[in-house]
């Protein structure tokens, strides 16, 4: 019985004893594939772990080059949680040695949105201005060519608040809680509106409770205390809904994976609240496929005759839910979606934004970018936001969430 098999998974598991030194994880690591700065997940994980003591810094700093994609954990034939082990090692390093202002800043997406959205025209001028980006790179270490998305002029939540309020909260069978995450709130509110439209079209009212960033950027940067504050704030709100039977749905496979797994696997928040929220959380495409299996999905999709390169992001693959977007694309007449069969786009949340990692992120994603460009398609699709931004900025091909493609298809149908 390996840890991944355990019906009732316990966290945090010490799983490195399961390592048989077969090196399979090293063969699939996209970072080790392109740089020798990161020797590979086996050396960092099961082997490095022997030298680590709780509360002390990891003796080898190279673990910080891990991008956290999680492919090693999935490839391991004996169930060792390699990526999780390495992320914890990074966190203990950050806890003892500290980290840069840059890492603290780009992890704090709620703060960035609070500052950026009210002055969106100005902030976006800065994001588009080469000189200012160059200065940002020199002063802060944020790669001038890193895939930063422009701020929305209005947050998703401010749009949501202006919708007519529902007098009675709908019952759990007929409603879902929408976890919009910071990307939808501050950068891509249109995606949030499409998600609401699709959920409502399929008979589900949408509840948008007050929420904060899921905390994943802090987790990826080893800032566990800050991540725990975000996690606790979200759990305090979401656990109550979860217990009352509401499903929690998100468009970001990164945020939803944090709710499902990382709060428990990395932040040691393995209490009843965290378990209730994990059990209630759904990726939106996962939920739509479930509705379809139950015969409840509105399948009146309008034709969208085109080739669509689709990249299933690493975080989605860590959900263990297959590729639900591919199932949904198959319902759209004329749409020919092609799985990228590429491991990782390289962005890995904030990784590709860091000046010293930008090139690594580009090299990791190169095969994907080549495929997307070679497809000749004018649109690509991907479920996680920073991956979309990475693909779009590296290929020039507009990259959208599967939900946006489906919403468009519904509109085509409606237009007759």
- Separation between Cα atoms, residue 345 and residue 393, nearest integer Å: 11
Whichever of 26 and 107 has its CB closer to another protein, that residue is 26
Does the protein bind another protein through residue 336 (CB under 8 A)? Answer: no
Does the protein bind another protein through residue 260 (CB under 8 A)? Answer: yes
Does the protein bind another protein through residue 2 (CB under 8 A)? Answer: yes
What tokens were used for 161? 């608040």
CA distances from 415 to 300, 301, 302, 410 (A): 12, 11, 9, 9
* Residue pair 179/255 in contact by the 8 Å Cβ criterion: yes
**CA neighbor of 109 nearest in space, from 270, 219, 271:** 219
Whichever of 155 and 323 has its CB closer to another protein, that residue is 323
For residue 380, what is the enclosing H or E element? strand 379-382
Q: How far is the CB of 23 from another protein (least distance, A)?
A: 4
Span near another protein by CB under 8 A; candidates 173-181, 191-199, 319-327, 372-380: 319-327
CA angle 163, 167, 172 (to 5 degrees): 95
* Residue pair 39/28 in contact by the 8 Å Cβ criterion: no
For residue 175, what is the enclosing H or E element? strand 175-179
Does the protein bind another protein through residue 342 (CB under 8 A)? Answer: no
- Separation between Cα atoms, residue 286 and residue 312, nearest integer Å: 13
- Separation between Cα atoms, residue 374 and residue 305, nearest integer Å: 18
Q: How far is the CB of 283 from another protein (least distance, A)?
A: 10
- Separation between Cα atoms, residue 52 and residue 304, nearest integer Å: 54
Contact residue for another protein among 67, 86, 318, 350 (CB under 8 A)? 318
Whichever of 133 and 342 has its CB closer to another protein, that residue is 342
Whichever of 85 and 157 has its CB closer to another protein, that residue is 85
What tokens were used for 110? 């709620």
Span near another protein by CB under 8 A; candidates 17-25, 103-111, 141-149, 229-237: 17-25
CA distances from 325 to 28, 191, 314, 383 (A): 24, 15, 14, 8
- How many residues does the structure list for the chain? 416
SS3 68: coil
Span near another protein by CB under 8 A; candidates 68-76, 95-103, 127-135, 347-355: 68-76
Contact residue for another protein among 129, 158, 171, 341 (CB under 8 A)? 341
What tokens were used for 354? 């860091």
Contact residue for another protein among 245, 320, 334, 396 (CB under 8 A)? 320
Q: How far is the CB of 338 from another protein (least distance, A)?
A: 8
Binding mask 131-170 for another protein (x = CB under 8 A): ----------------------------------------
- Separation between Cα atoms, residue 70 and residue 349, nearest integer Å: 13
How many residues in the shown chain lie near another protein by CB under 8 A?
47
Q: How far is the CB of 91 from another protein (least distance, A)?
A: 20
Contact residue for another protein among 12, 16, 57, 75 (CB under 8 A)? 75
Contact residue for another protein among 12, 57, 74, 237 (CB under 8 A)? 74
- In the complex, which residues of this chain contact another protein (CB under 8 A)? 2, 4-5, 7, 22-24, 26-28, 33, 36, 39-40, 43, 73-79, 257, 260-261, 278-279, 281, 289, 292-293, 295, 317-323, 326-328, 330-331, 339, 341, 367
């Amino acid at each position: 019985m390996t840890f991944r098999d355990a019906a009732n998974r316990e966290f945090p598991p010490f799983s490195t004893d399961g390592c048989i030194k077969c090196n399979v994880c090293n063969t699939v690591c996209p970072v080790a594939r392109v740089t020798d700065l990161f020797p590979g997940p086996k050396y960092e994980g099961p082997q490095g772990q022997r030298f680590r003591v709780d509360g002390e810094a990891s003796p080898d700093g190279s673990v910080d080059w891990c991008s956290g994609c999680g492919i090693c954990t999935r490839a391991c034939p004996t169930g060792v949680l390699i990526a999780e082990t390495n992320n914890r090692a990074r966190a203990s390093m950050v806890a003892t040695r500290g980290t840069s202002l840059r890492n603290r800043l780009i992890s704090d997406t709620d703060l960035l949105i609070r500052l950026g959205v009210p002055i969106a025209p100005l902030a976006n001028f800065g994001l588009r201005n080469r000189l200012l980006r160059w200065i940002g790179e020199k002063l802060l270490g944020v790669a001038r060519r890193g895939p930063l998305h422009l701020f929305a002029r209005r947050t998703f939540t401010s749009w949501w608040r202006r919708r007519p309020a529902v007098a009675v909260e709908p019952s759990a069978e007929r409603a879902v809680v929408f976890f919009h995450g910071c990307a939808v709130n501050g950068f891509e509110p249109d995606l949030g509106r499409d998600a609401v439209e699709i959920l409502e079209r399929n008979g589900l009212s949408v509840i948008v409770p007050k929420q904060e960033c899921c905390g994943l950027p802090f987790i990826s940067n080893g800032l566990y205390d800050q991540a725990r504050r975000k996690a606790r704030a979200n759990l305090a709100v979401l656990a109550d809904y979860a217990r009352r039977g509401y499903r929690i749905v998100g468009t970001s496979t990164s945020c939803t994976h944090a709710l499902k797994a990382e709060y428990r696997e990395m932040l040691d928040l393995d209490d009843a609240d965290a378990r209730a929220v994990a059990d209630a959380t759904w990726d939106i495409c996962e939920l739509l496929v479930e509705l379809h299996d139950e015969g409840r999905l509105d399948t009146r999709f309008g034709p969208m005759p085109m080739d669509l390169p689709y990249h299933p992001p690493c975080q989605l693959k860590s959900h263990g839910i297959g590729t639900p977007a591919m199932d949904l694309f198959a319902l759209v007449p004329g749409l020919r979606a092609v799985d990228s069969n590429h491991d990782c786009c390289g962005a890995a949340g904030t990784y590709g934004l860091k000046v010293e990692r930008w090139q690594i992120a580009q090299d990791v994603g190169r095969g994907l970018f080549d495929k997307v460009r070679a497809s000749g398609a004018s649109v690509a699709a991907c479920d996680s936001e920073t991956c979309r931004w990475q693909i779009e900025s590296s290929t020039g091909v507009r990259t959208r969430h599967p939900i946006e493609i489906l919403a468009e298809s519904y509109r085509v149908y409606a237009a007759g």
